[in-house]
Chain A
Amino acid sequence: MRPFDEMLETDGTVRMAYAQFGEWLEGASKEFLTRKNDEADMMFRRLGITFTVYGDAAQTERMIPFDIIPRILDPQEWDYLARGTIQRVDALNAFLDDVYHDQAILKAGRIPPELVLNNDAFRPEMLDMDLPRRIYAHIAGVDVVRTGPRDFFVLEDNVRTPSGVSYMLENRQTMMRLFPELFATNHVAPVERYPSELRANLRSVAPIGVDDPTVVLLTPGQHNSAFFEHAFLATEMGIELVEGQDLFVDDGLVFMRTTEGPKRVDVIYRRVDDDYIDPLAFRSDSMLGVPGLLSVIRRGRVTLTNAIGTGVADDKAMYVYVPEMIRFYLGEEPILQNVPTYSLRNKDDYKYVLENLESLVVKEVHGSGGYGMLVGPKSTKKEREEYTKRLKADPDAFIAQPTLALSTCPTYVDEGVAPRHVDLRPFVLSGQRTTVVPGGLTRVALKEGSLVVNSSQGGGTKDTWVLER
């Protein structure tokens, strides 16, 4: 069966959201699209929007391919997605506050305690700390896939240091420059306010007693794959972009080294992982963090966003319990569905997965970026045999899900315009309120038939339009 297509009904008629765009696309010649595609390519190169590919000996800088055909959502679809993702992030924040305090959900027997307490991402250092506004995941990127008109599934909740929002913003800029005529006829909800919303949110979680907080963005440095995004967001928010070496702890406070001497820092939007954030508390070989930072956080004299220890909520093993969290903390039914998930720690599931590898997607519990996963239907017999060895060696480290027929979206490729599989990552901000900017990052698997949208695995991005009523 053909997968759901974002633009076309099964009979070939154009869906509502694409009505205007479809007409325009029909009138666009292959030459015109090719020229626009080249122009877009040149614009990204000139801006220097690149990312670093890990595991490549040369650490080459590459560009994430940008596709000139937008992914369009109608107002109803977006409303549903917005409510669903906000609900999820609210529940995840409540869960984090709970597991680092009373652990009511564990006491109530709704989640096996060992799954939380023995989890590598669970940080005992965070126990009994009261965070401003009780928020842990200030920035979340919820990955959503679609299989039908009203069938949206959450694939994963990214509440550590989710990236990609700069592409949401730059892709829009690029589209507005390439196709101004499209924005005149389509009423596309603006995404440009994201940086100022983020800035307001970061300021709203400053330590108590700080009226005019100094906010900084902490980056691992310019060789990190997402450095462009870090610099971009710092510019857009008008805050300093710091590295670990620029910060130091003195007298129970965090300071940055400036040309006018040490300056106190109140909120750190960090894009450095937990393990590397403080060599005195976590990995001692880390050069990216700030020695003594944890002690200042624990005294509530600096706020780290996202908080340390959020990883226990977006773990692939914990994912199964998010609907339960929504019921437990919010007393609501989940708006967005989970993908059915088999945990290999469970005996029945284990047996089922080994027998049905060919139809499943298997992922590492702690993996990310599309590395180390097995896409059953696309795998060779040899790959499955290799993978089985790994599963048998450490079943707890894996989960499996049915291979979803991800929706497709028309995409510019060498042969013309053809359907390619897509997902969507809206960005949810928590501070004074929980909000989500209308849009997000649409990732597209550019290879025909491929279901892997990660940029590290040959995926591209598209501008995401939410039409206004």
Chain B
Amino acid sequence: MLSRTADNLYWLGRYVERAENTARLLAGTQRLSLMPIPTDEAGNLWRNLFQSEFEENAFLAKHSEFSETPVMEYMALDPENPSSIYSCVHGARENVRAARHVLTTEISQCINETWMEVKKCRPQDVIDRGTQNYLDSIKERAHLFRGVVHGTMRRGEPFMFWELGAALERAENTSRLMLARSAAFHRAAKRDDGFDFYRWGTFLRTANAYSAYRQLYRDIDPVSVADLLILNTQIPRSLLSCIEDSAEVLRNLKREAQCAAMAERLASELRTMRLDTILRSGLEGFLHDFRKQVHVLSDQIRVDFIMVR
């Protein structure tokens, strides 16, 4: 398979996941904002969606304050924001176009229809429809897209590169999400129950893990939430699940590739870890380290498959 096409499929997987993730993040934040929360926290609620000073500055160049309407507009609809839902869907569509010859008509149609919807959406439309309805529709389109890929696509290399992109993007998303709340997990480790049921519930929904949590654990406590999102392989977005999925795809793609060994190593390291050790040595440090390793893995995948000669 052409290396460039593999790259297109990989990014297709990433973009669709990222669009859905942003939608879930915005929906969760909006739900949180409906709760009475301390004013200092409320002030940071929308700001916390930005991960770095660089991202914050890009936002501040266009808007004056971190409040719901401008953040929502910037993260959902702004074509100039490279990680907005708009940009992700556009990116997904460009990759579908470029790799169209290895995709099915159903996949092209699904992404084209999504793009036509997203493209024509103006801030006022979102307000008129209701923000949650708009974000729900993005999530639904992502679910539909995954279903169409699973239901129509040949299980060959193109499919595997799509799976790989999706799995790694999930790993990044979940770790990002936890990092944004890592302080809260620490307070929990010190038995400081600052976060209430509602807020952890919202957090779990943002990670698409609420119902799984209710089935696997009883009461909501932060340590169990961390356990689920890091080490439990029954949910598709835990860090371990994502890495195991990636390792499996790479094993099937090319067992002898360096990146396959690297993913295998990362998975077995995680598998032997215990949550209390992670919390004791510091969740934030663990997550940063994890993210670094995922980046190194992505780079090695490029070297092994994409940058031929």
Asked whether A47 lies within 8 Å of B109 as measured between CB atoms, the reply is: yes
A431 to B101, CA, bound (A): 24
Closest to A257 in B: B308
Contact of B2 among A45, A227, A231, A256 (CB under 8 A): A256
B253 proximity list for chain A (CB < 8 A): 259
The main secondary structure of chain B at its interface with chain A is helix
Segment of A141-149, A237-245, A384-392 in the binding face: A237-245
Segment of B23-31, B83-91, B92-100, B283-291 in the binding face: B92-100
Asked whether A46 lies within 8 Å of B113 as measured between CB atoms, the reply is: yes
Q: Residues 105-143 of chain B: 1 if any A CB is under 8 Å from the residue's CB, otherwise 0?
A: 100110011001000000000000000000000000000
Asked whether A245 lies within 8 Å of B108 as measured between CB atoms, the reply is: no
Asked whether A246 lies within 8 Å of B100 as measured between CB atoms, the reply is: no
A366 to B98, CA, bound (A): 31
Asked whether B108 lies within 8 Å of A48 as measured between CB atoms, the reply is: yes
Asked whether B4 lies within 8 Å of A246 as measured between CB atoms, the reply is: yes
B108 proximity list for chain A (CB < 8 A): 47-48
Task: Give the residue among A232, A234, A239, A241 with the most B Cβ atoms within 10 A.
Answer: A241
Number of interface residues of A (CB under 8 A): 25
Closest to A237 in B: B101
Number of interface residues of B (CB under 8 A): 26
Asked whether A222 lies within 8 Å of B309 as measured between CB atoms, the reply is: no
Contact of A240 among B94, B97, B101, B309 (CB under 8 A): B101
Asked whether A222 lies within 8 Å of B97 as measured between CB atoms, the reply is: yes
Q: Residues 224-260 of chain A: 1 if any B CB is under 8 Å from the residue's CB, otherwise 0?
A: 0001000110110001111101101000000011111
In B241-263, the 8 Å CB interface with A consists of: 253-254
A242 to B101, CA, bound (A): 10
Asked whether B6 lies within 8 Å of A259 as measured between CB atoms, the reply is: yes
Contact of B94 among A222, A248, A261 (CB under 8 A): A222
Asked whether A242 lies within 8 Å of B2 as measured between CB atoms, the reply is: yes
Contact of A47 among B4, B101, B105, B157 (CB under 8 A): B105
Closest to A234 in B: B101
Asked whether B309 lies within 8 Å of A262 as measured between CB atoms, the reply is: yes
Judge whether B50 is part of the interface by a CB distance below 8 angstroms.
Answer: no
In A56-86, the 8 Å CB interface with B consists of: none
Residues of A within 8 A of B (CB): 45-48, 222, 227, 231-232, 234-235, 239-243, 245-246, 248, 256-262
Residues of B within 8 A of A (CB): 1-6, 94, 97-98, 100-102, 105, 108-109, 112-113, 116, 157, 161, 253-254, 305-306, 308-309
A–B pairs, 20, beta carbons within 8 Å: A46-B109, A48-B108, A222-B94, A222-B97, A231-B101, A232-B100, A234-B101, A235-B100, A240-B1, A241-B100, A246-B4, A257-B3, A257-B4, A258-B2, A258-B308, A259-B6, A259-B157, A259-B305, A259-B306, A261-B308
